[in-house]
Amino acid sequence: MRRIEHDITIMGSCFLVYKVSTSLFIKLIASVDFFMKTPILKHVIILLFIKNINKENGNSMKKFIIMVSLSALLFALTGCMLDTNQSEQSITIFSERHYDTDRVLFDLFEAETGIPVNVIDGGADQLINRLENEGEDTSADVLIIADAGRLHRAKSRDLLQSVESDTLFSNIPANYRDIDNYWFGLTKRARVLVYHPERVNGEALSTYEALTAPEFEGRIVTRTSTNIYNQSLMASFIEIMGEELARDFARGLVANFARTPSGNDRDQAKAVVQGIADIAIMNTYYIGRMMHSSDPFEREVADTVEVFFPNQDTTGTHINVSAAGVTKHASNVEGAIQFIEFLSGEEAQSSFANANFEYPVNEAVEPHVLLQSWGDFKPQAINLSVLGEHATKATIIMDEEGWE
Ligand SMILES: [Fe+2]
């Protein structure tokens, strides 16, 4: 009986030590890439442990317990060190984007550099607010969002840090990155005119400003003035033509609206096909997205409308970017910079831009065939950093001129 009790006590202790040590052992094994990919091996090793315990008895069992306890301690220390290294080596991205092709690119980056990439998706403003609320405790190393105006917001709230990178400087033209290097454009989009070819002669179109002429009365749609895309468009006009002419544009455009602004960019193109308006002001990539939509009406809209790049003989078409910045409190600054450099490189650029039918910022890379079919165009020659700087003034002007 005493022998049985003794065995039970020994087995109980073994079980407890086994539980602690195996969990730590699994941690250790999990940190080794080979074992991570073959979880079945973890279980084989655990089974070998169990088998060993059953075979052992008496003194050798005690020796085994001491050995396992020491191993557990070693594993605990090693595991903690590995955990720390792992979190220092990985990078976390706060991203407005959620495309499958992005994940493929991130996996490629992981394979090339050994730096694991975690992605947290969210709306742009939501991610900016989260970054602000988390402060120094944030897990984010990189912020990826659309519109230079929003990136300026993140910069002015002290959420990003300046980065020096010759790779980024050479891959990204100067006007598509922040003047103080707080963010770097990765893809471009143009804010163009989209029109119904049966109701508008493309040859009659010329500039954004020309849309204020009486002939376009009741024929124009675009979204509200609370939308960052229109705020950035107006901000570009303030930079290029000055406040007064920008105000004249806003006033004249409002006078020619076909309806009170509502809906998103796709809704503007739909309004053109539905006969509510003849011309919409919207971003290029929505045409590509609608062309590949699961909604038959969206495909019909994309097939029906024509794209026009305004101001080709004057100041150029308005351009904006999706961009990335290293967060102020990034724990892996080096990895974050490497990641943005990777996305700006020739290998990643076309896939990253094509995911959303945008133009690559890297001039060595060709855009998607759809975008090529629209032809080359002249963009506004301004540094996009100014869009954020004029954003407040732009909003005030639109508001004062009745742009709802
Ligand atoms: Fe958009």
Q: How far is the CA of 266 from the centre of ligand 1 (A)?
A: 9
CATH superfamily to which 189-318+389-400 belongs: Periplasmic binding protein-like II (3.40.190.10)
The residue-averaged pLDDT of 32-37 equals 39
State in Å: Cα 61 to ligand 1 middle: 66
pLDDT, tens digit, for every residue of 195-223? 999 999 999 999 999 999 999 999 999 99
Contact 79, 27 (CB under 8 A): yes
Which comes out higher in pLDDT, residue 57 or 308?
308
Which residue blocks in 220-374 are alpha helix, DSSP H? 228-241, 243-255, 265-273, 285-291, 296-304, 333-344, 346-354, 369-373
Distance 41 CA to ligand 1 centre (A): 46
Ligand 1: distance of its center to the CA of 28 in Å?
Answer: 44
Lowest mean pLDDT among 70-84, 124-138, 284-298: 70-84
CA of 26 to the centre of ligand 1 (A): 44
Has residue 395 got a pLDDT over 90? yes
Q: Tell me how far the alpha carbon of residue 192 lies from the centroid of ligand 1, in angstroms.
A: 13
Using the mean position of ligand 1's atoms as its centre, give its distance from the Cα of residue 258 in Å: 22
Phi, psi of 97 (to 5 degrees): -85, 150
282 three-state secondary structure: strand
Ligand 1 center to 286 CA (angstroms): 7
Ligand 1 center to 321 CA (angstroms): 10
Phi, psi of 272 (to 5 degrees): -65, -45
Q: What spacing in Å lies between the alpha carbon of 322 and ligand 1's midpoint?
A: 10
Distance 333 CA to ligand 1 centre (A): 28
- Give residue 223 CA to ligand 1 midpoint distance, Å: 12
Ligand 1 midpoint to CA 80 (Å): 43
Cα separation, 211 vs 28, whole angstroms: 66
Distance (Å) from CA 6 to ligand 1 centroid: 71
Residue type, 32: V
Find out whether 344 and 172 touch, Cβ atoms under 8 Å: yes
Q: Quick one: tokens of 166?
A: 């010759």
Residue 251, token pair as written in the block: 């006033």
- Please give the distance, rounded to the nearest whole angstrom, from the Cα atom of residue 101 to the centre of ligand 1: 18
Tell me how far the alpha carbon of residue 181 lies from the centroid of ligand 1, in angstroms: 24
Give residue 69's pLDDT band: very low, low, confident or very high (50, 70, 90).
low
Coil, helix or strand at residue 5: helix
Query: Domain map of the chain by residue range?
Result: 2-89, 189-318+389-400
Ligand 1 centroid, distance to 125 Cα (angstroms): 13
Helix, strand, coil shares of the chain, percent, nearest 5, are 55, 15, 30
Residue 12 confidence (pLDDT) above 70: no
What's the pTM value of the predicted model, to 2 decimals? 0.78
170 alpha carbon – ligand 1 mean position (Å):
27
pLDDT at res. 135: 97
pLDDT at 233 over 80: yes
Q: Encoding tokens for residue 193?
A: 């005119």
Distance (Å, whole) CA 158 – CA 76 = 38
The pLDDT value recorded for residue 38 is 34
Name which residue leads in pLDDT, 23 or 179.
Answer: 179
* Alpha carbon of 124 to ligand 1 centroid (Å): 11
Query: How many angstroms does the Cα of residue 247 sit away from the middle of ligand 1?
Result: 25
Going by C-alpha positions, the residue among 210, 234, 246 that lies closest to residue 202 is: 210
Compute the distance from residue 47 Cα to the ligand 1 centre, in Å.
Answer: 54
Phi and psi at residue 177, to the nearest 5°: -135, 160
355 is written with which tokens? Answer: 């995911």
CA separation for the pair 163, 184 (Å, rounded): 9
Q: How far is the CA of 357 from the centre of ligand 1 (A)?
A: 11
CA of 355 to the centre of ligand 1 (A): 13
Q: What is the pLDDT of residue 70?
A: 54
**From the CA of 84, how far away is ligand 1's center (Å)?**
38
* 164: its two tokens: 């020096």
Q: How far is the CA of 234 from the centre of ligand 1 (A)?
A: 17
**d(CA 147, ligand 1 centre) in Å:** 9
